[in-house]
Amino acid sequence: MKKHVVLGVTGGIAAYKALDIISALRKKGIETHVIMTKNACEFVTPLSFETLSNNEVVTDTFKRTKSWEVEHIALAKRADLFLIAPASANVIGKAAHGIADDMLTTTLMAARCPILFAPAMNTAMYENAIVQENITFLKNKGCYFIEPDSGFLACGDLGKGKLQKVEVIVEEVLSFLEEKKDLEGKNIMVTAGPTIEAIDPMRYITNHSSGKMGYAIAEAAVKRGANVKLVSGPTNLLCPDGVERINTQSAMDMYETVNQNFQWADVVIKAAAVADYRPAEVSDMKIKKSGEDIQIRLTRNPDILQSLGAKKGNKILVGFAAETHNLITYAKEKIEKKNLDFIVANNISEENAGFKGDTNIAAIIDKDGVSNQYPMMSKTELANIILDKVRATL
């Protein structure tokens, strides 16, 4: 299927280089749609982009189109990748603050595909703490950035801020669009989200897991050709296309579901945050308050991963370790105890790591004790690194 790239062009002297990007992408058979800001039109004419992309260039939010589609939504839906090149300090700032006041920023706000910024501006602007904070903020929200190049800038300054070379940008775009099918035919079971352990019909014990890490793995695995079963605790997330989701509530539920499907799986990746304990007695009726303190006795839940480790055979078992201290030591103990091929260790007390956010910071440790520490990245990027390791182990 043809891939679609939406290219947002903002006002800057490097805008003319976006013409080469369009031309290179079209040569690779990629359909391109260009949105220009008003300032961009001061540097290059829409006609040049129209000629090279062979599509109408969009500049005006209120221009009547021939079709009755809402244009910015239609473009956002069509995009497999949204590239903004050159990305000015202005558009980065608007995106970071949710400002959608022209065609480019409204489309950007509606986009669900990966968003890639290629900044270009004067060195002092690029190094400005506000611009850098906006870039960090957007990275934390899952956007990607191509570092600008260094050299002589149009303003005469020497430093970082030149739009990255067209070949580098095009290479990066292609790697986003490339569909690896290296897990074709593999059956992968992923667990995600929290478990909830009932106290009475109204109350339960749970944890902060949003499910995002496990869902990112399930989505990445299906895109790479695997058959995926996602055993999910309660979350607010949409099931990724092509994934079979099996909903569970408590650790006992998850234990049964995972064990029932174990035979089917070639690989199990356990990103769920499973409660180690549950209330020993669950009241049928709402526990009424009294003047006294009450005690809830907790009993151990089975360790799901350990139960799989005991009958592992030649299946691949991947665990997660969520810790607040002694991360690597505890993670190594878990590999041994649960008979895992490797473990993904994340420190849940670190900023931008662990629960809820769109990013994680993790180390992957294998059963031979070899450990690789990764910097902060989106959960999708980490998911693909985990799947690369699964692929290598297979």
Indicate which residues carry an active-site annotation. 155
CB count in 10 Å sphere of residue 66: 6
CA atoms within 13 A on the CB side of 285: 2
Does 319 interact with ligand PMT (rule: CB under 6 A)? yes
Q: How far is the CB of 65 from ligand PMT (least distance, A)?
A: 39
Q: How many residues does the chain have?
A: 394
Contact status: 273 vs ligand PMT (CB under 6 A): yes
Residue 334 near ligand PMT by CB under 6 A: yes
**3-state SS class at 305:** helix
144 or 255, CB closer to ligand PMT?
255
Binders of ligand PMT: how many residues, by CB under 6 A? 27
Binding segment toward ligand PMT, per CB under 6 A, in 98-106, 162-170, 347-355, 364-372: 347-355
Interface with ligand PMT, residue 245, by CB under 6 A: no
Task: Give the Å distances, CA to CA, from 344 to 258, 365, 372.
Answer: 19, 7, 10
Contact in structure between 96 and 137 (CB atoms under 8 Å): yes
CA pair distance 380, 215, nearest whole angstrom: 9
Find the part of the chain contacting ligand PMT (CB under 6 A) among 23-31, 241-249, 348-356, 366-374. 348-356
320 contributes a contact to ligand PMT by CB under 6 A: yes
Residues of span 199-228 touching ligand PMT by CB under 6 A: 209-213
27 C-beta neighbours (distance < 10 Å), count = 9
Coil, helix or strand at residue 177: helix
Binding span for ligand PMT by CB under 6 A among 27-35, 117-125, 136-144, 314-322: 314-322
Cβ proximity to ligand PMT, 22 vs 273, nearer residue: 273
Among the listed ranges 47-55, 56-64, 146-154, 349-357, the one in contact with ligand PMT (CB under 6 A) is 349-357
Residue 348 lies near ligand PMT (rule: CB under 6 A): yes
Cα–Cα distance, 191 to 197 (Å, whole number):
17
* Phi then psi dihedrals of residue 190, to 5 deg: -120, 140
Cβ distance 214 to 271 under 8 Å?
A: yes
Least distance (Å) between residue 290 CB and ligand PMT: 32
Tokens (6 digits) for 2: 């043809």
Distant-in-sequence, close-in-space partners of 291: CB < 8 Å, separation ≥ 6? none
Which residues fall within 8 angstroms of residue 283, CB to CB, at 6 or more apart?
199, 200, 201
Q: Which of 60, 157, 171, 276 binds ligand PMT (CB under 6 A)?
A: 276
Q: Does 337 bind ligand PMT (CB under 6 A)?
A: no
Q: How far is the CB of 328 from ligand PMT (least distance, A)?
A: 13
Q: For residue 317, what are the β-bridge partners?
A: 268
Is 270 a residue that touches ligand PMT (CB under 6 A)?
Answer: yes
Please give the residue ranges that form the binding site for ligand PMT (CB under 6 A).
Answer: 193, 209-213, 251, 270-274, 276, 301, 303-305, 319-322, 334, 346, 348, 354-356
